[in-house]
Structure 1
Amino acid sequence: MEHGEHPTRLEELRERIGQLVRSVPDFPQPGIVFRDLSGVFADADGLQDMASAIIAEVPSEVELIAGLDARGFIVGATVAARLGVGFVPVRKAGKLPPPTRSQTYDLEYGTATFEVRDNAVKAGQRVLIVDDLLATGGTARAAGSLLRQCGAQLLGYSFLVELTGLAGRESLVDDPDAGGVPVHSVLTLPA
Protein backbone atom coordinates (compact mmCIF):
# COMPACT_ATOMS: atom_id res chain seq x y z
CA MET A 1 0.00 0.00 0.00
CA GLU A 2 1.41 3.39 -0.93
CA HIS A 3 0.30 7.01 -0.77
CA GLY A 4 -3.42 7.55 -1.34
CA GLU A 5 -4.51 3.92 -1.34
CA HIS A 6 -8.06 2.93 -0.46
CA PRO A 7 -9.16 3.55 3.19
CA THR A 8 -10.60 0.01 3.44
CA ARG A 9 -7.10 -1.39 2.85
CA LEU A 10 -5.75 0.84 5.64
CA GLU A 11 -8.39 -0.52 8.02
CA GLU A 12 -7.37 -4.08 7.11
CA LEU A 13 -3.75 -3.24 7.91
CA ARG A 14 -4.74 -1.67 11.22
CA GLU A 15 -6.71 -4.75 12.18
CA ARG A 16 -3.82 -7.13 11.38
CA ILE A 17 -1.30 -4.94 13.22
CA GLY A 18 -3.61 -4.63 16.23
CA GLN A 19 -3.68 -8.41 16.56
CA LEU A 20 0.11 -8.39 16.99
CA VAL A 21 0.13 -5.80 19.80
CA ARG A 22 0.12 -7.32 23.28
CA SER A 23 -1.28 -5.43 26.28
CA VAL A 24 0.55 -6.20 29.52
CA PRO A 25 -1.34 -4.96 32.62
CA ASP A 26 0.54 -3.59 35.62
CA PHE A 27 3.88 -3.32 33.82
CA PRO A 28 6.29 -1.74 34.58
CA GLN A 29 4.26 -0.71 37.64
CA PRO A 30 0.71 -1.20 38.95
CA GLY A 31 -1.93 0.73 37.02
CA ILE A 32 0.09 0.92 33.78
CA VAL A 33 -0.88 -1.08 30.70
CA PHE A 34 2.30 -1.63 28.66
CA ARG A 35 1.79 -1.91 24.90
CA ASP A 36 4.26 -4.54 23.71
CA LEU A 37 4.96 -3.94 20.02
CA SER A 38 7.62 -6.62 19.64
CA GLY A 39 5.06 -8.92 18.00
CA VAL A 40 4.69 -6.40 15.16
CA PHE A 41 8.47 -6.12 14.73
CA ALA A 42 9.08 -9.89 14.92
CA ASP A 43 6.46 -10.77 12.30
CA ALA A 44 7.66 -10.19 8.71
CA ASP A 45 4.12 -9.43 7.49
CA GLY A 46 3.48 -7.27 10.56
CA LEU A 47 6.58 -5.22 9.87
CA GLN A 48 5.55 -4.71 6.25
CA ASP A 49 1.96 -3.90 7.25
CA MET A 50 3.28 -1.34 9.75
CA ALA A 51 5.38 0.37 7.08
CA SER A 52 2.51 0.31 4.57
CA ALA A 53 0.05 1.81 7.06
CA ILE A 54 2.43 4.63 7.96
CA ILE A 55 3.42 5.29 4.34
CA ALA A 56 -0.25 5.65 3.39
CA GLU A 57 -0.32 8.94 5.32
CA VAL A 58 3.24 10.22 4.74
CA PRO A 59 3.46 13.52 2.85
CA SER A 60 4.83 12.86 -0.63
CA GLU A 61 7.43 15.62 -0.30
CA VAL A 62 9.26 13.94 2.62
CA GLU A 63 13.04 13.84 2.19
CA LEU A 64 14.15 12.44 5.53
CA ILE A 65 12.67 10.30 8.29
CA ALA A 66 13.75 10.99 11.88
CA GLY A 67 13.28 8.11 14.33
CA LEU A 68 13.33 8.49 18.11
CA ASP A 69 15.56 6.41 20.37
CA ALA A 70 15.06 3.44 20.51
CA ARG A 71 12.00 1.69 19.04
CA GLY A 72 11.46 4.65 16.71
CA PHE A 73 14.66 3.48 15.00
CA ILE A 74 12.91 0.26 13.99
CA VAL A 75 9.76 2.00 12.80
CA GLY A 76 11.50 4.95 11.16
CA ALA A 77 14.26 3.04 9.39
CA THR A 78 11.75 0.55 7.99
CA VAL A 79 9.59 3.38 6.62
CA ALA A 80 12.61 5.28 5.25
CA ALA A 81 13.91 2.21 3.45
CA ARG A 82 10.52 1.56 1.86
CA LEU A 83 10.23 5.22 0.78
CA GLY A 84 13.80 5.38 -0.50
CA VAL A 85 14.66 8.40 1.67
CA GLY A 86 17.31 9.00 4.32
CA PHE A 87 17.01 8.24 8.02
CA VAL A 88 18.39 10.22 10.96
CA PRO A 89 18.43 8.75 14.47
CA VAL A 90 17.44 11.12 17.28
CA ARG A 91 19.55 9.67 20.09
CA LYS A 92 19.59 9.87 23.86
CA ALA A 93 22.41 12.08 25.16
CA GLY A 94 25.93 10.68 25.12
CA LYS A 95 25.39 8.12 22.35
CA LEU A 96 26.85 10.15 19.46
CA PRO A 97 30.38 11.50 19.02
CA PRO A 98 30.70 15.27 18.78
CA PRO A 99 29.81 17.57 17.24
CA THR A 100 26.12 17.22 18.09
CA ARG A 101 23.11 19.42 18.69
CA SER A 102 20.95 18.76 21.72
CA GLN A 103 17.55 19.50 23.22
CA THR A 104 16.68 18.94 26.88
CA TYR A 105 13.06 18.31 27.81
CA ASP A 106 10.99 17.62 30.91
CA LEU A 107 9.74 14.23 32.00
CA GLU A 108 7.33 13.43 34.81
CA TYR A 109 10.32 12.47 36.99
CA GLY A 110 13.11 14.76 35.75
CA THR A 111 14.68 15.75 32.45
CA ALA A 112 16.17 14.00 29.43
CA THR A 113 18.18 15.15 26.44
CA PHE A 114 18.05 14.22 22.76
CA GLU A 115 20.96 14.65 20.36
CA VAL A 116 21.51 14.48 16.62
CA ARG A 117 24.71 14.69 14.63
CA ASP A 118 25.41 18.37 13.96
CA ASN A 119 25.06 18.04 10.17
CA ALA A 120 22.38 15.32 10.13
CA VAL A 121 19.80 17.62 8.52
CA LYS A 122 20.35 20.10 5.73
CA ALA A 123 18.71 23.52 6.01
CA GLY A 124 15.20 23.35 4.57
CA GLN A 125 15.16 19.55 4.35
CA ARG A 126 11.60 18.21 4.71
CA VAL A 127 11.52 15.83 7.69
CA LEU A 128 8.86 13.53 9.17
CA ILE A 129 9.31 12.35 12.76
CA VAL A 130 8.36 8.70 13.28
CA ASP A 131 8.11 6.83 16.56
CA ASP A 132 6.53 3.69 17.94
CA LEU A 133 4.20 5.25 20.50
CA LEU A 134 2.63 8.62 21.31
CA ALA A 135 1.75 9.10 24.98
CA THR A 136 2.11 12.64 26.39
CA GLY A 137 4.00 13.95 23.34
CA GLY A 138 6.96 15.34 25.29
CA THR A 139 9.67 13.34 23.55
CA ALA A 140 8.26 13.90 20.07
CA ARG A 141 7.85 17.61 20.74
CA ALA A 142 11.48 17.84 21.91
CA ALA A 143 12.63 16.01 18.79
CA GLY A 144 10.65 18.42 16.63
CA SER A 145 12.26 21.39 18.35
CA LEU A 146 15.73 19.89 17.93
CA LEU A 147 15.25 19.15 14.24
CA ARG A 148 13.88 22.64 13.58
CA GLN A 149 17.00 24.06 15.29
CA CYS A 150 19.00 22.04 12.75
CA GLY A 151 17.12 23.78 9.92
CA ALA A 152 14.56 21.06 9.15
CA GLN A 153 11.16 21.83 7.72
CA LEU A 154 8.98 19.65 9.97
CA LEU A 155 6.22 17.98 7.93
CA GLY A 156 4.56 16.18 10.82
CA TYR A 157 4.61 13.19 13.14
CA SER A 158 3.68 9.54 12.53
CA PHE A 159 3.23 6.90 15.22
CA LEU A 160 2.47 3.20 15.21
CA VAL A 161 0.34 3.52 18.38
CA GLU A 162 -1.29 6.54 20.01
CA LEU A 163 -2.50 6.25 23.60
CA THR A 164 -5.68 8.27 24.14
CA GLY A 165 -6.42 10.29 27.23
CA LEU A 166 -2.86 11.58 27.70
CA ALA A 167 -3.16 14.67 25.46
CA GLY A 168 -0.11 13.76 23.38
CA ARG A 169 -1.73 14.66 20.08
CA GLU A 170 -2.91 17.98 21.49
CA SER A 171 0.59 18.75 22.78
CA LEU A 172 1.99 18.33 19.27
CA VAL A 173 -0.82 20.01 17.35
CA ASP A 174 -0.90 22.97 19.73
CA ASP A 175 2.90 23.49 19.63
CA PRO A 176 3.18 27.09 18.39
CA ASP A 177 6.74 26.47 17.15
CA ALA A 178 5.66 23.55 14.93
CA GLY A 179 3.04 25.51 13.00
CA GLY A 180 0.20 23.01 13.38
CA VAL A 181 1.85 20.13 11.53
CA PRO A 182 -0.23 16.95 11.15
CA VAL A 183 -0.11 14.03 13.57
CA HIS A 184 -0.92 10.54 12.28
CA SER A 185 -1.19 7.25 14.11
CA VAL A 186 -1.88 3.74 12.82
CA LEU A 187 -3.56 2.44 15.99
CA THR A 188 -5.37 4.36 18.73
CA LEU A 189 -5.57 2.55 22.07
CA PRO A 190 -6.69 3.61 25.55
CA ALA A 191 -3.90 4.60 27.94
Structure 2
Amino acid sequence: MTGATRELLLSRIRDVRDYPKQGVLFKDITPLLADPQAFAVLTDTLAELCVRRGATKIVGLEARGFILAAPVAVKAGMGFIPVRKAGKLPGATLSQAYDLEYGSAEIEVHAEDLGADDRVMVIDDVLATGGTAEASLELIRRAGARIAGIAILLELGFLGGRARLEPALRGAPLECLITL
Protein backbone atom coordinates (compact mmCIF):
# COMPACT_ATOMS: atom_id res chain seq x y z
CA MET A 1 0.00 0.00 0.00
CA THR A 2 1.34 3.42 -0.87
CA GLY A 3 1.81 6.24 1.58
CA ALA A 4 -0.84 8.24 -0.28
CA THR A 5 -3.36 5.41 0.17
CA ARG A 6 -2.53 5.17 3.87
CA GLU A 7 -2.98 8.91 4.31
CA LEU A 8 -6.28 8.92 2.41
CA LEU A 9 -7.68 6.14 4.60
CA LEU A 10 -6.33 7.59 7.83
CA SER A 11 -7.75 11.03 6.99
CA ARG A 12 -11.23 9.48 6.80
CA ILE A 13 -11.12 7.84 10.25
CA ARG A 14 -12.61 10.08 12.91
CA ASP A 15 -11.73 10.06 16.62
CA VAL A 16 -14.71 10.13 18.97
CA ARG A 17 -13.78 10.79 22.59
CA ASP A 18 -15.50 9.01 25.47
CA TYR A 19 -17.39 6.56 23.28
CA PRO A 20 -18.81 4.03 24.03
CA LYS A 21 -17.73 4.91 27.58
CA GLN A 22 -15.70 7.51 29.42
CA GLY A 23 -11.97 7.34 28.69
CA VAL A 24 -12.24 5.49 25.36
CA LEU A 25 -11.07 7.08 22.11
CA PHE A 26 -13.27 5.37 19.50
CA LYS A 27 -12.03 5.07 15.90
CA ASP A 28 -15.07 5.78 13.71
CA ILE A 29 -14.79 4.49 10.13
CA THR A 30 -18.16 5.85 8.97
CA PRO A 31 -16.57 8.92 7.30
CA LEU A 32 -14.38 6.53 5.28
CA LEU A 33 -17.43 4.49 4.27
CA ALA A 34 -19.27 7.68 3.26
CA ASP A 35 -16.46 8.72 0.90
CA PRO A 36 -16.88 6.65 -2.29
CA GLN A 37 -13.26 7.19 -3.40
CA ALA A 38 -11.76 6.18 -0.04
CA PHE A 39 -14.13 3.22 0.33
CA ALA A 40 -13.27 2.01 -3.19
CA VAL A 41 -9.53 2.32 -2.48
CA LEU A 42 -9.96 0.33 0.74
CA THR A 43 -12.06 -2.35 -1.00
CA ASP A 44 -9.56 -2.67 -3.86
CA THR A 45 -6.59 -2.87 -1.47
CA LEU A 46 -8.18 -5.57 0.66
CA ALA A 47 -9.36 -7.55 -2.39
CA GLU A 48 -5.81 -7.54 -3.78
CA LEU A 49 -4.53 -8.90 -0.45
CA CYS A 50 -7.09 -11.70 -0.51
CA VAL A 51 -6.21 -12.71 -4.06
CA ARG A 52 -2.47 -12.51 -3.35
CA ARG A 53 -2.87 -14.78 -0.30
CA GLY A 54 -4.75 -17.41 -2.33
CA ALA A 55 -8.00 -17.10 -0.40
CA THR A 56 -11.13 -18.82 -1.66
CA LYS A 57 -13.58 -17.33 0.86
CA ILE A 58 -13.72 -14.21 2.96
CA VAL A 59 -14.95 -14.08 6.53
CA GLY A 60 -16.22 -10.81 7.96
CA LEU A 61 -16.44 -10.34 11.71
CA GLU A 62 -19.53 -8.80 13.24
CA ALA A 63 -20.38 -6.09 12.81
CA ARG A 64 -18.21 -3.59 10.98
CA GLY A 65 -16.14 -6.40 9.47
CA PHE A 66 -19.28 -7.29 7.48
CA ILE A 67 -19.33 -3.82 5.93
CA LEU A 68 -15.76 -4.23 4.69
CA ALA A 69 -15.71 -7.93 3.85
CA ALA A 70 -18.84 -8.15 1.69
CA PRO A 71 -17.71 -5.70 -1.03
CA VAL A 72 -14.18 -7.13 -0.85
CA ALA A 73 -15.58 -10.61 -1.53
CA VAL A 74 -17.50 -9.32 -4.55
CA LYS A 75 -14.44 -7.47 -5.89
CA ALA A 76 -12.20 -10.53 -5.37
CA GLY A 77 -14.76 -12.97 -6.82
CA MET A 78 -15.02 -14.96 -3.60
CA GLY A 79 -17.78 -16.03 -1.25
CA PHE A 80 -18.55 -14.00 1.88
CA ILE A 81 -19.10 -15.81 5.19
CA PRO A 82 -20.39 -13.86 8.22
CA VAL A 83 -19.09 -14.71 11.68
CA ARG A 84 -21.80 -13.50 14.02
CA LYS A 85 -22.54 -13.13 17.68
CA ALA A 86 -24.17 -16.22 19.18
CA GLY A 87 -27.84 -16.70 18.40
CA LYS A 88 -27.93 -14.55 15.24
CA LEU A 89 -27.62 -17.28 12.59
CA PRO A 90 -30.43 -19.73 11.76
CA GLY A 91 -29.69 -23.40 11.29
CA ALA A 92 -26.75 -25.52 12.37
CA THR A 93 -23.80 -23.51 13.63
CA LEU A 94 -20.39 -23.96 15.16
CA SER A 95 -19.63 -21.67 18.07
CA GLN A 96 -16.53 -20.43 19.85
CA ALA A 97 -16.44 -18.71 23.22
CA TYR A 98 -13.74 -16.21 24.12
CA ASP A 99 -12.82 -13.84 26.90
CA LEU A 100 -13.26 -10.11 26.80
CA GLU A 101 -11.69 -7.52 29.07
CA TYR A 102 -14.77 -7.62 31.33
CA GLY A 103 -16.56 -10.90 30.67
CA SER A 104 -16.94 -13.30 27.79
CA ALA A 105 -18.65 -13.60 24.43
CA GLU A 106 -19.39 -16.19 21.78
CA ILE A 107 -19.32 -16.15 17.98
CA GLU A 108 -20.83 -18.53 15.44
CA VAL A 109 -20.60 -19.54 11.79
CA HIS A 110 -22.90 -21.76 9.74
CA ALA A 111 -21.41 -25.26 9.91
CA GLU A 112 -21.87 -25.90 6.17
CA ASP A 113 -20.34 -22.62 4.92
CA LEU A 114 -16.69 -23.66 5.32
CA GLY A 115 -14.85 -26.87 4.52
CA ALA A 116 -11.53 -28.51 3.79
CA ASP A 117 -11.22 -26.97 0.32
CA ASP A 118 -11.48 -23.41 1.66
CA ARG A 119 -8.60 -20.99 2.30
CA VAL A 120 -10.12 -18.21 4.37
CA MET A 121 -9.10 -14.58 4.70
CA VAL A 122 -10.54 -12.90 7.80
CA ILE A 123 -11.38 -9.21 7.44
CA ASP A 124 -12.19 -6.73 10.18
CA ASP A 125 -12.05 -3.01 10.73
CA VAL A 126 -10.01 -2.67 13.93
CA LEU A 127 -7.59 -4.94 15.77
CA ALA A 128 -7.70 -3.98 19.43
CA THR A 129 -7.04 -6.74 21.98
CA GLY A 130 -7.46 -9.53 19.41
CA GLY A 131 -10.04 -11.65 21.22
CA THR A 132 -12.63 -11.80 18.46
CA ALA A 133 -10.04 -12.39 15.74
CA GLU A 134 -8.40 -15.14 17.78
CA ALA A 135 -11.75 -16.87 18.34
CA SER A 136 -12.59 -16.59 14.64
CA LEU A 137 -9.38 -18.41 13.68
CA GLU A 138 -10.26 -21.30 15.99
CA LEU A 139 -13.82 -21.38 14.65
CA ILE A 140 -12.65 -21.45 11.02
CA ARG A 141 -10.23 -24.30 11.75
CA ARG A 142 -12.93 -26.25 13.58
CA ALA A 143 -15.08 -25.92 10.45
CA GLY A 144 -12.26 -27.68 8.56
CA ALA A 145 -10.97 -24.70 6.56
CA ARG A 146 -7.44 -23.32 6.37
CA ILE A 147 -6.41 -19.76 7.23
CA ALA A 148 -5.02 -17.68 4.35
CA GLY A 149 -4.52 -14.70 6.67
CA ILE A 150 -6.13 -11.78 8.43
CA ALA A 151 -6.51 -8.31 6.92
CA ILE A 152 -7.34 -5.39 9.20
CA LEU A 153 -7.94 -1.75 8.33
CA LEU A 154 -6.64 -0.29 11.60
CA GLU A 155 -4.46 -1.83 14.32
CA LEU A 156 -4.36 -0.21 17.75
CA GLY A 157 -0.86 -1.49 18.49
CA PHE A 158 -0.77 -0.25 22.06
CA LEU A 159 -3.52 -2.74 23.03
CA GLY A 160 -1.42 -5.83 22.22
CA GLY A 161 -3.78 -7.64 19.84
CA ARG A 162 -0.98 -8.68 17.48
CA ALA A 163 0.95 -10.44 20.27
CA ARG A 164 -2.21 -12.23 21.39
CA LEU A 165 -2.93 -13.40 17.83
CA GLU A 166 0.55 -14.68 16.95
CA PRO A 167 0.09 -18.21 18.40
CA ALA A 168 -3.39 -18.55 16.85
CA LEU A 169 -2.13 -17.47 13.41
CA ARG A 170 0.23 -20.47 13.21
CA GLY A 171 2.30 -18.71 10.58
CA ALA A 172 -0.57 -17.20 8.60
CA PRO A 173 -0.01 -13.51 7.81
CA LEU A 174 -1.61 -10.65 9.73
CA GLU A 175 -1.76 -7.57 7.52
CA CYS A 176 -2.87 -4.27 9.04
CA LEU A 177 -3.16 -1.37 6.61
CA ILE A 178 -2.67 1.26 9.33
CA THR A 179 -1.05 0.79 12.74
CA LEU A 180 -1.38 3.38 15.48
Give the TM-score category using the shorter length. over 0.9
**1:94 maps to what in 2?**
87
**2:47 maps to what in 1?**
55
1:181 corresponds to 2:172: yes
1:122 corresponds to 2:147: no
Whether the aligned pair in 2 keeps the contact of 1:64 and 1:85 (CA below 8 Å) is yes
1:68 aligned to which of 61, 65, 80: 61
Whether the aligned pair in 1 keeps the contact of 2:47 and 2:73 (CA below 8 Å) is no
2:10 aligned to which of 18, 38, 42: 18
Whether the aligned pair in 1 keeps the contact of 2:53 and 2:148 (CA below 8 Å) is no
What is the CA RMSD across the aligned residues, in angstroms? 1.3
Aligned residues: 179
TM-score of the aligned structures, taking structure 2 as reference length: 0.94
Partner of 1:165, secondary structure, is helix
1:124 CA displacement? 3.3
Structure 1 vs Structure 2: percent identity of aligned residues? Answer: 42
Residues in 2 aligned to 1:112 and 1:101: alpha-carbon distance in whole angstroms: 14
1:126 CA displacement? 0.4
Q: Which runs of at least 4 in structure 1 moved beyond 4 Å after TM superposition?
A: none
1:152 aligned to which of 145, 152, 155: 145
1:57 CA displacement? 3.1
Whether the aligned pair in 1 keeps the contact of 2:127 and 2:156 (CA below 8 Å) is yes
AA partner of residue 75 (structure 2): R
2:28 aligned to which of 27, 30, 36: 36
**1:85 maps to what in 2?**
78
AA partner of residue 24 (structure 1): V
Whether the aligned pair in 2 keeps the contact of 1:54 and 1:185 (CA below 8 Å) is no
1:138 aligned to which of 95, 119, 131: 131
Whether the aligned pair in 1 keeps the contact of 2:61 and 2:123 (CA below 8 Å) is yes
AA partner of residue 137 (structure 1): G
Residues in 2 aligned to 1:183 and 1:60: alpha-carbon distance in whole angstroms: 11
Unaligned runs of 5+ in 2: none
Residues in 2 aligned to 1:81 and 1:36: alpha-carbon distance in whole angstroms: 24
Whether the aligned pair in 2 keeps the contact of 1:61 and 1:126 (CA below 8 Å) is yes
Unaligned runs of 5+ in 1: 1-6
Residues in 2 aligned to 1:124 and 1:171: alpha-carbon distance in whole angstroms: 27
Residues in 2 aligned to 1:106 and 1:164: alpha-carbon distance in whole angstroms: 19
